[in-house]
Structure 1
Amino acid sequence: MVTSPVVTWLQDVWPQYRWQDADVHEACFHDVAVRAPDVVGRVSCHGEQTERVQREHRVLELLGDVQLPYDLPRPLSGVVSRSGRTGMLTSFVAGEHRPGIDWEAASTQIGNALVAFAQVTPEQWTDRLPEPRSWCGGRRWSELVHERLLPRLAPDLQLLATTVIADVLEAEKAAGVTQFVHGDFGPHNILWSGDQIVGILDLDHACLGDPAIDAASLISYYGAERVSQIVDHDVLDRAMIHRASLTLQLATAADLLGDTGLRDHALGNFGSRSRDGTLHDPGGWQPDRHSRTQRR
């Protein structure tokens, strides 16, 4: 039996848990070892990412005081950097993972979750939550795309990427509202019991920002036409603008970590979605702040 490298690392750092029995999952930026029902280990997979993991740890600490009708992971350790990796322990969140759940089964509960996010009152900690896109450069994201990604794109895609970035920044200024945002809200990060959402995972991208950011993630899974049933017109338009930038965000984060394979995959998706007319929405809808008549 071959032992996963993340299991070996966790056994060295936190030997009090039987990590050899853990269920290991590989993600873009972390390896996750789930030792139900006791503990979860989250370990960087791009070397020692101390700053990144510390930011995620701070968010989980902060959200411990937030009143949401769902279980969230809580930090159970500090952040440890050792032997080329950085990790932390979090609490186990119970529930059934249904990443392929269909819209009809999920829409009411997902809509309720968006309302719950909007009702979080952040007066005590607005200056402590990360800014939008902290995981891929934060305020420097636009600059990083121009410096590091545009030279890798064909001229027509360079122009398109510049427009996409400008549209995102303009949409955020026009939003007129900031609130708690999960940042990667979709069925892959939701846990269920029966027909109820009971837990929400992976708050790595959580921030204080435009609620359309969460709607953008939902568009990638369910399409703008369906998401229009649970958000208003203006949020939907901004969500499609945000959705057009998601591949550029992923490519920027990957480039910062030196993951050229993931970066180039994300840039390839940016180009293919542009050619297919699906950059803003898998179904081809386009943002239009004035009417829906021009949407396909």
Structure 2
Amino acid sequence: QWIEHGSANLVVLAGAAAVRVGRTATAAAESLRAQTVVDALPGLPFAVPRALADPVRDGDMVAIAQRRLDGVPHPSGHGDADALRGVLDALAAVPVRALEARLAPPHAFMGGEQWHPVMVERAIPLLAPDVRDRARRAADDLAALEPVPEVLVHGDLAGSNLLWDGGVVTGVIDWDLASAGDPAIDVAALAVWHGWDVIERVRPPEVVHRARIIAATHPLQV
């Protein structure tokens, strides 16, 4: 089975392996960096796509054979609170400073260090005029959040990236955006997918509050 990820990335599913192919120099370098993150992760209560062999290079292209994980994505709108708590707790327990040199830059999924100007100057002007003020308030509210101690943040922790079997999270894939950051980033992603009522049972109100502020900017993240 072949799965296209844009024009630069391809995943080939074959038996117990998932082969990730970066088809440009940039995509190849990013896939190699992301794989070093996965391979450096400590033991976790769920599987991750660790490399099965050394990368294979052909010009600018790189192919990485990864462990193919069991499980399927969870339907949106609900989820097991204990299972989601376990995922968040496991990420928070990872010694993030030991991984820091390998991780993606903070906010890579929304413009990096310049995320606020990107939202204000590039994303918001594309919106309908009647929602621009509300969008600007959402961006400013996020910028006003006080810093919190950083943990390992997956960066896209929902949907097809969490694999389940029998009510248990069996695997987490797609670690390209993993960074050191606010734990509420992953809380927001899980809440949008599984429901805020579920997340409110597994994280304290102050974290959920931050997550709501983050989630309000999801449509502006480019």
Smaller-chain TM-score bracket:
0.7 to 0.9
Is 2:40 the counterpart of 1:61? no
Pair 26,39 (structure 1): closer, same or farther in 2 beyond 3 Å: closer
- Judged with a 3 Å threshold, the aligned counterparts in structure 2 of structure 1 residues 92 and 66 are, in CA distance, closer, same or farther, namely closer
Matched, 1:199 2:171: yes
Distance 1:41 1:62, change over 3 A: closer
- Give the SS at the match of 1:208: strand
For residues 213 and 79 of structure 1, the distance between their equivalents in structure 2, rounded to whole angstroms, comes to 34
CA shift, 1:114, in A, is 0.5
RMSD: 2.6
Change (3 A) 1:144 1:52: farther
What is aligned with 1:129? 103
Deviation at 1:43, TM superposition (A): 4.4
Higher strand proportion, which one? 2
Aligned-pair CA distance for 1:146? 2.7
Map 1:172-187 to 2 at 5 A: 174-187=146-159
Letter of the 1:37 partner, please give it.
Answer: A
1:233 paired residue number: 205
Taking every aligned residue pair, what percent have the same amino acid on both sides?
Answer: 25
Does structure 1 residue 164 correspond to structure 2 residue 138? yes
User: Take 1:205 and 1:60, find their aligned partners in 2: how far apart are those partners?
Assistant: 11
Question: What's 1:74 paired with?
Answer: 50
For 1:220, the equivalent position in structure 2 comes to 192
Give 2:118's match in structure 1, choosing from 135, 144, 167.
144
- 1:119–1:237: structure 2 CA closer, same or farther, 3 Å change rule? same
Quote the residue 2:20 is aligned against.
41
Query: What secondary structure, in the 3-state scheme, does the structure 2 residue paired with 1:99 have?
Result: coil
Cα distance in 1, alignment partners of residues 196 and 211 from structure 2: 9
Q: Which has the larger radius of gyration?
A: 1
Gap change, CA 1:243 and 1:35, over 3 Å in 2 = same
Change (3 A) 1:24 1:176: same
Q: Deviations over 1:217-244 (max 9, x none)?
A: 1121122122101111011011111111
Q: CA deviation at 1:58?
A: 1.3
Q: Equivalent residue for 1:32?
A: 11
Partner AA of 2:143 in structure 1: L
SS of corresponding position for 2:105: coil
Q: Are the counterparts in 1 of residues 77 and 195 from structure 2 also a CA contact under 8 Å?
A: no
Matched residue, 2:69: 94
CA contact (8 A) 2:40 2:99 kept: no
Distance 2:125 2:13 in 1: 40
1:53–1:79 CA contact under 8 A, matched in 2:
no
Deviation at 1:207, TM superposition (A): 0.9
SS at match of 1:146: helix
Contact map agreement 1:57 1:79 (CA 8 A) in 2? no
- How far apart, CA to CA, are the structure 1 residues paired with 2:82 and 2:135? 34
Name the TM-score, length of structure 2 as normaliser: 0.84
Offset at residue 149 of structure 1 (A) = 2.4
Deviation at 1:142, TM superposition (A): 1.8
Deviations 1:167-203 (A, max 9, x none): 22222xx242110011111242122344432211111
1:40 alignment partner, SS class: strand
User: How far apart, in 2, do the equivalents of 1:146 and 1:236 lie?
Assistant: 24
Q: How many angstroms apart in 2 are the aligned matches of 1:219 and 1:149?
A: 23
What's the CA shift for 1:216?
Answer: 0.7
Residue 139 of structure 2 aligns with an amino acid whose one-letter code is I
User: Taking structure 1 as the reference length, what is the TM-score of the superposition?
Assistant: 0.65
Assess if the C-alpha contact under 8 Å between 1:93 and 1:199 holds in 2: no
Q: Secondary structure at 1:33's aligned position in 2?
A: strand
